[in-house]
Structure 1
Amino acid sequence: MSYSKPSSIAKLNDSILGCFSALPPSEFIDHLVRYLGTWSGSDKLFAVIEYSLKLLVPLLRKRAEIQQRGGLRKVANSSTAARFSKLASNISDSRTLWRFWGLLSIIRWMTSLERTAQPTRNLLNIERLQGWSMLGYYPLEHLSYLISHDVLPAKSTINLSPFIATKTTLNLNPNTLGVWSVRCWAFYVALQFAHLREDGKLLKAKYRGLRKTGLKLAEKQEMQKRWQAYWSDLVVNMVNFPLAIHWSTGSTLFKHESIVSLLNLIAAVISFRSGWEATALPSRSPSEPGDDLVEPVVVADNATAYDI
């Protein structure tokens, strides 16, 4: 009996179906799956894509106009810009829908906050206020979303009391609900500056304490990461603050939507980078300790317990 034919088929199967055996394990792919497997990671990635597309759309439209004037195209319309705009709109809508679970995270955060000792009383009260602001932000945003998509009626008649026959008509404007939702978020962003100030004091105090006893390599690396995260959070909050003012005042601060998209892209890129570094596996320590850790002149701070 000859086994040449089954052996040939097995080799063919291995070469075609098992072609991925030629690829070595990838730490990058493992990291990507680990990060994007979280709600926060995938949301940050889609935010980068969304606002990148929103910045490209006006550029593509402007290019189409220039080409039309130069006789390179018949109409000043860009089909690519139209597709990018539709994709960005779909991503924005999906991100809002995915935030429906955000309220659960806030409840869990506030519950944990009351059961975990905080470094200072000020930080405890700041985070309490931030949690309550988010308890206003999410329901208002969810209600605005459902009404704007005709899932819930904008106008409804309700009975104020089962013992009184009087009925009251309730009118809900999704745009108004959206503005008040963002105002709750603006309050959170404003409080974040106070949070950053308190955290910065704690970081500087810890750094000075470690210097007195002598910084070890692991402690240096940890302080580097915390200061880097601190600065990233400060920059993101400084970008979010004008956006919060813009949206909470009915989109009146910035006249050009491209400025809004650019600020959102900056915040999204920095947030994605911070999340990427936070989910990285610990690296091996170098053989020789470095002396590149210096005390920052300007105080910066860690992120709060919840990232919007």
Structure 2
Amino acid sequence: MSQSASSSKAVRPANATDAVLGAFSNVPPNETLEHLIRYLGTWSGFDKAMMITQYGSKLVIAFLALQHALRVRLAGTKSFHAANGGSSVAVRVQRLGALVGNARVLYRIWGLLPMLQWMISMERNPPPTRLLHNIERIQGWAMIIYCPLEAVSYLGAHSILPVSARTRGKMDLFGVRCWAVYVILQLLHLVEDNRLLRLRARALERGRGHPTPARTPNTEKKVDLGEEQETTRGMWRELDARKDAILNQLWVNLGYLPLTVHWSTPGGLLSDAWVGFFGTIAASAGLRAGWRATAKRPELAAK
């Protein structure tokens, strides 16, 4: 046997091992995957992903129940199980949603700490207007009340703290009403934010005007802009980004508002399907904002 033949046989096992154990060696770096890990590594990102699962499961169950009802009607039978959507899949989805909802409450048990940090920071760096300052003060106090009530009620429900069911019910109602105060004030906050944004836009338009378009209308050639024009474009981009953030926050709080009203009322007002619908709106808008906030900025990517 020649030396080349023996050496080729010796290489084959190593190549086979590399092909199996090193299967990811040919996979290029993925910016989307890195972005997802970066986002889910934040408190907000993890919570929004869990929130999508929790409230999305209610929509899935509602869809399965509707599907089952239509199937029963077409079959002309009287067997209808709306509680689980007529399938074992709905039961498992319901268990998943309940488990995720329970985990979210447990995860929020230290939520008071960032609220305290926010209140301290706000007094040292107050918002631009007295109205916004007082709105945020009331919001902070509302959440300082809400967070401990939710935590104590949760621990009492799991027999960790000696809290009766009646007391837990009162704590839940009062706590969610504090959350409702926060949400309503946040909508007022967004109205004031939008007013200030429009004033800034008018002042910018009077002072600097609109910059020359980056591209000419009839061609795709870039226009050579001066330093002042680039600065003006940057200021308008900042205003556009702020406008988009306000609109996104509006959707978040329009999703939360019906939920807080629902849970603030004994017995509730909404069905599980509507809870899932509004919760998914709030979660999706929050996820969109967080995804954009954790995107790698071009100037950082170039370094």
TM-score by length of 1: 0.79
Map of 1:91-170 to 2, 5 A cutoff? 91-154=100-163
Give the structure with the larger helix fraction. Answer: 2
SS of aligned partner of 2:111: helix
Following the alignment from structure 2 to structure 1, what is the Cα–Cα distance between the partners of residues 267 and 288? 28
Question: Aligned residue for 1:257?
Answer: 272
Deviation at 1:48, TM superposition (A): 1.1
Unaligned runs of 5+ in 2: 212-231
**1:234–1:61: structure 2 CA closer, same or farther, 3 Å change rule?**
closer
Map of 1:169-180 to 2, 5 A cutoff? 173-180=167-174
Establish whether residue 196 from structure 1 lines up as the match of residue 177 from structure 2. no
Following the alignment from structure 1 to structure 2, what is the Cα–Cα distance between the partners of residues 63 and 4? 61
Match of 2:180 among 182, 186, 206: 186
List 4+ stretches of structure 1 deviating above 4 A.
none
Following the alignment from structure 2 to structure 1, what is the Cα–Cα distance between the partners of residues 17 and 200? 60
**1:271–1:195: structure 2 CA closer, same or farther, 3 Å change rule?**
same
Following the alignment from structure 1 to structure 2, what is the Cα–Cα distance between the partners of residues 118 and 68? 58
Question: Aligned residue for 1:158?
Answer: none
Establish whether residue 39 from structure 1 lines up as the match of residue 34 from structure 2. no
Following the alignment from structure 2 to structure 1, what is the Cα–Cα distance between the partners of residues 71 and 92? 19
Establish whether residue 59 from structure 1 lines up as the match of residue 63 from structure 2. yes
* Residues 143 and 179 in structure 2, CA contact (< 8 A), matched pair in contact too: yes
Question: Aligned residue for 2:294?
Answer: 279
Establish whether residue 240 from structure 1 lines up as the match of residue 256 from structure 2. yes
**1:113-154 Cα distance to aligned partner (Å, 9 max, x none):** 122243122222211111111000000000111111111122
Counterpart of 2:116, as a letter, is I
Match of 1:15 among 15, 19, 31: 19
**1:95-119 Cα distance to aligned partner (Å, 9 max, x none):** 1110012111101111111222431
Following the alignment from structure 1 to structure 2, what is the Cα–Cα distance between the partners of residues 88 and 131? 29
Percent identity reads 41
SS of aligned partner of 1:173: helix
- Size of the aligned set, in residue pairs, is 268
**1:101–1:3: structure 2 CA closer, same or farther, 3 Å change rule?**
farther
**1:79–1:116: structure 2 CA closer, same or farther, 3 Å change rule?**
same
Following the alignment from structure 2 to structure 1, what is the Cα–Cα distance between the partners of residues 48 and 126? 30
